[in-house]
Structure 1
Amino acid sequence: MEIKLATDALSALSQRTRLEVFRLLVRREPQSVAAGDLAKAIGVPANTMSVHLNVLSRAGLVSSERHSRSIVYRADLNRFRELMLFMLKDCCDGRSEICAPLFADLIPCCPPKESVDA
């Protein structure tokens, strides 16, 4: 990831409402959420939500799709993964004893699902 893309994404997430929206969309994955439902859930006017969603969209953190008369949004987990990897790539200059606690804290959040084929 280029530093410009990373700073755009981090800038978009540095505002409270946008961070709340993005976190809500991540929790709802893989389902999309209508813009009006996002506005209600976060407690902001629809026109304000539209501005925030445009910022997140320009930063590549959300995608949108028209469904009839409404627009639904999803978090772009690939872009989010790229951003996190960009932030952690040079973690602690390769000194694993410093980075190990960080990675240990991340692993329990998303343990791999065991295969049902076994």
Structure 2
Amino acid sequence: MPAGELARLMAVPQNTMSAHLSILARAGLVSAERRGRSILYRARLSRLREMMLFLLKDCCGGRTEVCAPLIDELVPCCPQPPSNHLNDLKGAK
């Protein structure tokens, strides 16, 4: 999606959105592809997943109850077979 379109949808100044997307691209969390005068941005889902897992594991510090509310909020957005997400986090440490 072009930076301008993202900025419009999020009601953020276009130059601010471009600056943020540029930082995310340098961090490897989004990819950027020039098309004419526009730059199209795409989320790099594998990298975003790695980052989110790192943050969740790090914030829990071995105490899964700290992240349980966040994990419970994430589960409904992506229905999958039942699993114990708290044990997944604990075992990944």
The TM-score normalised by the length of structure 1 is: 0.52
* Matching residue of 1:38: 6
Count of matched residue positions in the alignment of Structure 1 and Structure 2 = 79
1:68 is aligned, of 36, 58, 62, to 36
Return the match for 1:89 from 57, 61, 71: 57
Q: CA deviation at 1:81?
A: 0.6
SS of alignment partner, residue 44 of structure 1? coil
Name which structure has the greater RCO, CA cutoff 8 Å, separation 6+.
1
CA distance in 2, matches of 1:104, 1:77: 20
TM-score, scaled relative to structure 2 = 0.62
Mapped partners of 1:38, 1:47: distance in 2: 11
Any stretches of 5+ residues in structure 2 without a counterpart?
A: 82-93
- What fraction of aligned residue pairs are identical, expressed as a percent? 56
Deviations, residues 34-60 of structure 1 (Å, cap 9, x unaligned): 112122222333333221211121222
Q: Counterparts of 2:40 and 2:28 in 1: how far apart (Å)?
A: 15
Indicate how the Cα distance of structure 1 residues 82 and 43 shifts in structure 2: closer, same or farther if over 3 A, else same: same
Unaligned runs of 5+ in 1: 1-32, 114-118
